Amino acid sequence: MKKSVLLLSVGVMVIGMAACHKPVEAPEPQVEEVVEETVEGVAEEPVEETEETEEEVGLANPWSASDAEEAGAVGVSFVAPEGAENVEWSKMEDGDTTLYQMVFDLDGRTYTAREKVTSEAEDLSGTYYDWVAEEDITLQNWADGNMTGKMCRYIGEDEWVDLCTWFDVEIGISYSLTVSDTDLDGFDIVAVASQMCPY
């Protein structure tokens, strides 16, 4: 009888000890699963934010495709000068009017030309430099050689920028032409603008 009680007591102790160890072993895989889920969740969040950011940047672009015919419908539009390559047109709604842009390559330089219907002369270039030179100019071909405008130049350590602006008072359209290069010494942006007359 004593042996049975003793064996029974020992058995209960063994079962009790085994039962005490089970909860310790069981949570370990659960902890790993929780950690994995947390890590996966953290890894996914930045990817989603990046995708949304890229989409927002894409949607924020105010420019859309256009062409010379559409730009010409608003009045007298410029044309790409002879020899121009990679000519691309785009437009941007600007209040009640539309700003048209033509980008082209000529003689190894990339030019940006813009035009918009305005009530007075406007600088459409979107350039903000401390110009080192400014002068009044006259464009050949435009308005029988009587089209006046302004030419500006910026000279930096690694970049030169030329800007030419003019305004057709008869039809109310402002124009601008810009180009940049490492050195524009001896270059004449007015001559390029003169070639852009559509008639």
State the DSSP H helix or E strand holding residue 153, giving kind and residue range, or none if neither.
strand 147-155
Instruction: Say which residue the tokens 């039962």 belong to.
Output: 19
Query: Of the ranges 53-57, 100-104, 143-147, which is most confident?
Result: 100-104
Residue 121 has pLDDT above 80, yes or no: yes
Distance, CA of 168 to CA of 118 (rounded, Å)? 9
Q: What is the pLDDT of residues 10-67, one digit of tens each?
A: 444 444 444 444 444 444 545 444 444 444 554 455 545 555 555 555 567 889 999 9
Q: Give the helix, strand, coil percentages of the chain, each rounded to 5.
A: 35, 35, 30
Give me the pLDDT at residue 72, please: 86
In contact, 166 and 142? CB cutoff 8 Å: yes
Q: Where are the domains of the chain?
A: 2-60, 64-195
